[in-house]
Amino acid sequence: MNTQIKYAGFWKRFLAHLIDQLILGFARLILFIPIWFFVLVGYFSQQNIEEFNSFTKVSYQMLDDEMSIAVMSIFIFVIIGFIMINITADWLYYALMESSKKQATLGKMIVGIKVTDMMGNRIGFGKATGRYFGKILSGLILGIGYVMAAFTEKKQALHDILSNCLVVDSFSLINIENTSG
């Protein structure tokens, strides 16, 4: 009895990625809207309301005093913090889910694909982490690293090649009876 692996095509992978980004975007929305609300309420509570009511200039000089500089510094650190939280959340989402027993993110599960090593086995957290950060390189070169999945023999994107992984249909391990006899 032999097994045959069916590699996941570009469009299936694209749809899975789109679904994952919608899921992560919704989670960010739920998490960050209250945080932004409290940051902005805190900022505006420190400002003179009459300045905002009589705001008519095209440019507004916020950095007039030390308090404004401190507030802007905090605002910049909050944005940097959000970016770091997003990167960490995305990394953990992809790496933990792709190295789990399901071998797939929610988007991949929905479209019926999973991540494996070159032999069709489950990958570990370290390999899933390398694959995730390899996606940065795939995107940095104008997305060509992602498009490679449409043209390579095993339908691998650049980050798959770098991490020695495959993305396959979940039901691709089809048992083929040996009919020669």
Tens of pLDDT along 129-146?
999 999 999 999 999 999
Number of domains in the chain: 1
Give the pTM: 0.78
**Domain-located, residue 114:** yes
58 occurs within a structural domain: no
Domain hosting residue 147, numbered range: 5-50+64-172
Residue 180 maps to a domain: no
Residue at 132 is within a domain:
yes
At 87, list the tokens.
């990167």
**What are 34-52's pLDDT values in tens digits?**
877 777 776 666 665 555 5
Q: Is residue 143 part of a domain?
A: yes
Asked if residue 181 belongs to a domain, the reply is no
Let me know: does 9 contact 155? Beta carbons within 8 Å. Answer: yes
Structural domain contains residue 16: yes
Quick check: is 149 in a domain?
yes
Per-residue pLDDT tens over the stretch 39-92? 777 666 666 555 555 555 544 455 456 667 777 787 788 889 889 999 999 999
**Region of 108 on the Ramachandran plot (φ > 0 left; ψ -120 to 50 alpha; else beta):** alpha
